Structure 1
Amino acid sequence: MSREILAPPLQRMDNNRCYRVNLIHEDFGNQFAAMQHKRNQPQAANTGTAYTEQDLYAEDDDDEQEDTGSFHIEELPSGHYKLTMHVAQSFYGGLIGFKGSTKRRIESETQTDINVPRSREGGQKQVEDITIKGKTRINVMAARRKINLLVISLRKRMRPTHFACVPLNYGEIKERFCEFKKEVLTLNLPGIDEKLFQTEECIHLTLSTCVLLDTAERSKAVEILQSCKSFLSDLKTPFQIEVRGLEIMNDDPSAVRVLYARIESPELQKFADLALQPFLRSGLGFEDYERDHVKLHMTVMNNRFRKQLDDKSARSFDAREILKRYGDYNFGRAECNEVHLCVMHHTSGDDHGTFYKITGTLKFQKDIKKI
C-alpha cells in the first residue's frame, strides 16, 4: 500500500491542532497543480502557515487537450458556455435513459443543461446535434466526456455494421476455394451442406469491425481509413498474401461454428495492427477478441450463414473429417493493393463481381477514392 496512505503528510497548527494534507489526485486532470503541491509541500510543513486546498474543479486551460476529437466551445453573451456535439440518433434512447434518468444524472454531476433533439415526425432525417450548456468551460467538457463514454459503452453492445477488409474473390484463391468446396460437398459428410460455405464472390480477410450508424459516422470512418495511408511508408507494397491451412475458432472440432484459412503476410499483419488503433481511438471500432494483434483469417465456413437461411438448423457442425483431410490445404497466393470499408451482410456488384457494398477504399499505389 502507498506510503502516502499509511503515513500521510501532516500540517500542524496552533493549539496542538494537526491536520492531514489532502493530496491532489492526478486523475482529475490537474497535473500541473499536483506537481506544484509536491514541490511546495516541505515548505508548507516548516512554515506552519494555514494550508489552502487546491480547487479541483477550477478552470484548466489544458483540459481540452485530454480529448482527441475536434470541437468548439462557444462563450455566450451571458458568460455561460455552449458546445454542440454529434451523436447518432440510435444512441438517444440510451443517453436519455428511463424517463430521462440518465440525462438528468449527467446534468446533475456536471452542472450543465443538455438538450437532446426530438425525433422528427414523418420519417424526416435528424440533422440537429446535441447541445450542452454550462456556467464554466470545464463543466461543459465534463458533460461531453461522460456522453462520449456512454456512447462508447452503448456501441460495444451493438452488432458491427461495417468492416475493413482485403478482397480475395479473384484469381488463384477463388479457384482453389471453389475446388475445396466442391471436394468437401462430394464427401457427403453428415451435417455439411452448401449453406455453410462463404460465397466465392465474397471471399475476403477482415482487418477490423466497427459500428457506423449514420452518414456522419460513415464519413468519419472513411477519413480514418484514408489516414492509414501514412502507415504504408515503412512497408513494402503490394502486400504478398499466402492462404494455407485450416483452423477453427473454438477448441472442439466436433462442434464448430467458424472454419477459416490461415493467412501468411508479415507486412499486412503490421499494417493491420497499426490501422486498428485509429478506429479504436475514435470509438467507432472495437476488438472482437482480447488479443494484442489482429487475427488475419479468411472465413471458409460459418454456421451463421446457414442460420440466416434456416433458423432451425443446427448451432454448429462437425469439422473433424474436413480438418483431417484438408488441414494443410493450399488456397494459393494473392497481392493486396487495396483495403475496403464494407457494409455487413449487404452485397453489391463491383469490378470483382458481387462483393459486399463498399463505403470507402484505400488504394496503396494511387490516390484514395471514396465510393
Structure 2
Amino acid sequence: MRLERDTKTNIKIPRPGQDGDVVILGPTEQSVKTARRRINMIVVSTRMKQKFTHFISIPMNDPDVQKRFEEFRERVLQECPCRGLERSLFILPSKLHLTVGVMCLMDNEERLFASKLLTEAKEKIILPILQGHLPLKIRLKGLSYMNDDPSQIDVLYGLVQEEGSSQGVIQQIADGLVQHFYRAGFMKDSEYERGNVKLHVTLINTRYREDPDDTNLENEETKSQNTKKRRETFDGRDVLQKFADYDFGTVEFTSVHLSQPRVALGADGYYPPTCIVSWQ
C-alpha cells in the first residue's frame, strides 16, 4: 500500500500459494518503472537476509586427494590431542570442494535463471581465461585458518595453487564468477566488493561438531544448523606446526558446480548439483 501510494500505481500480487506475476498498473511509464525498481530492491534485500540455499563449488574430491585427506585426519587425531578437536569436525572426504560463493535461490524460476547464469559464465568468463592453460591441475597443499588466533580456530582450510605456469587462473575465474552473479543480484555486495575471493577448501569446521543427542548427523550442513548456539573452537597450534606443508595432491580442473548443501548427498557422496558446466 505504501508503494502504491508513493508511486501512484496499482500493484496486484498473487495470493499466498498461487503462482503468477506481480502486475503493476500506473498512469505513466516512469511510475511503473519506479514501482518495479523498488519491488526489486525489496526482493534483493530480503534475499540477502536468508540462509544460503546454493553455492558455486569446484570439486576437490579426487580419489587420491580423498585418500590423502583421510590419512591427514587420522594422523592429526593421533598426533595432535588438541583441546576441542574431534573426528566429527572433519568434512567428509567425498565433499571436499573449493568454495567460490554462496547465494539464496527462492524458487524453481530462480534456480533456472542461476543455471543460465552459470552456463553463460562458462562461455564469457571461464573458457576465455582457461585458454592456453588446459589441462589445468589444482594442488591442495598447506593449511591456514579463518581467524587471528591459532589457539581458537573455528575453520581450518587447505590452500590451493595451480600447477605449472598457470598462476592466478583459478583466482581470476572465481572473481569473475562472483562479479557475474553479484551483478545479477544473487550474491552479497561484500562478496564482490572485498576484491578477491578467498580461495579455500574447508577441512575442519567446528560447526560440524556432533551433538551426542542427535542420531542423524551425516550431513555437515545439518550439523551446522544444530550447533550454532554451542559452537566451540579448537586449539590448532600443533596441527599447524606439524602439518603446515601437508600435500593433499592434485585435482584436474574440469567443471564448476551450482551445488545444493542441504539435501541428500549424490551417489558419489558429493553435493547434488542444480547445474554443472564442464569442458572435458
Q: TM-score, normalised by structure 2?
A: 0.86
Counterparts of 1:275 and 1:285, CA distance in 2: 10
Counterparts of 2:129 and 2:230, CA distance in 1: 48
Partner of residue 198, structure 1: 91
* Matched letter for residue 301 of structure 1: I
Instruction: List aligned pairs for 1:141-160, cutoff 5 A.
Output: 141-160=33-52
Measured on the aligned residues, the alpha-carbon RMSD in Å equals 1.8
Q: The residue matched to 1:315 in structure 2 has which SS?
A: coil
Partner of residue 180, structure 2: 278
Counterparts of 1:263 and 1:303, CA distance in 2: 21
Counterparts of 1:271 and 1:108, CA distance in 2: 45
TM-superposed CA distance for 1:237, in Å, is 3.0
Partner of residue 30, structure 2: 138
Please state if 1:261 is matched with 2:158: yes
TM-superposed CA distance for 1:315, in Å, is 2.4
Match of 1:339 among 256, 267, 274: 256
Q: The residue matched to 2:61 in structure 1 has which SS?
A: coil
Structure 1: which 5+ runs fail to align? 1-103, 121-125, 366-371
Partner of residue 128, structure 1: 20
Counterparts of 1:149 and 1:303, CA distance in 2: 35
Q: The residue matched to 1:107 in structure 2 has which SS?
A: helix
Q: The residue matched to 1:166 in structure 2 has which SS?
A: strand
Counterparts of 2:231 and 2:104, CA distance in 1: 28
Distance 1:210 1:238, change over 3 A: farther
Partner of residue 78, structure 1: none
Q: The residue matched to 1:292 in structure 2 has which SS?
A: coil
Partner of residue 122, structure 2: 229
Match of 1:295 among 173, 176, 198: 198
Partner of residue 50, structure 1: none
Q: TM-score, normalised by structure 1?
A: 0.65
Q: Between Structure 1 and Structure 2, how many residues are aligned?
A: 255
Counterparts of 2:254 and 2:264, CA distance in 1: 21
Counterparts of 2:67 and 2:189, CA distance in 1: 31
Counterparts of 2:197 and 2:204, CA distance in 1: 20
Query: Is contact 1:272–1:294 with CA below 8 Å preserved after alignment?
Result: yes
TM-superposed CA distance for 1:295, in Å, is 1.2
Q: The residue matched to 2:261 in structure 1 has which SS?
A: strand
Higher-Rg structure is 1
* Matched letter for residue 137 of structure 2: Q
* Matched letter for residue 218 of structure 1: R
Distance 1:314 1:211, change over 3 A: closer
Q: The residue matched to 2:270 in structure 1 has which SS?
A: strand
TM-superposed CA distance for 1:155, in Å, is 1.2
* Matched letter for residue 261 of structure 1: G
**Greater strand fraction, Structure 1 or Structure 2:** 1
* Matched letter for residue 229 of structure 1: K
Partner of residue 213, structure 2: none
Greater relative contact order (CA < 8 Å, ≥ 6 in sequence)? 2
Match of 2:209 among 294, 306, 326: 306
TM-superposed CA distance for 1:317, in Å, is 1.4
Partner of residue 276, structure 2: 361
TM-superposed CA distance for 1:349, in Å, is 2.2
Q: Which moved more, 1:311-320 or 1:237-246?
A: 311-320
- The Cα offsets for residues 242-301 of structure 1, whole Å up to 9 and x where unpaired, read as 111111111111111111011113212111111111210111122565520111110000
Partner of residue 107, structure 1: 4
Partner of residue 235, structure 2: 318
Query: Is contact 2:129–2:172 with CA below 8 Å preserved after alignment?
Result: no
Q: The residue matched to 1:348 in structure 2 has which SS?
A: coil
Structure 2: which 5+ runs fail to align? 163-167, 211-222
Partner of residue 215, structure 1: 108
Partner of residue 21, structure 1: none
Counterparts of 1:318 and 1:288, CA distance in 2: 29
Q: The residue matched to 2:260 in structure 1 has which SS?
A: strand
Query: Is contact 2:129–2:173 with CA below 8 Å preserved after alignment?
Result: no
Query: Is contact 1:207–1:272 with CA below 8 Å preserved after alignment?
Result: yes
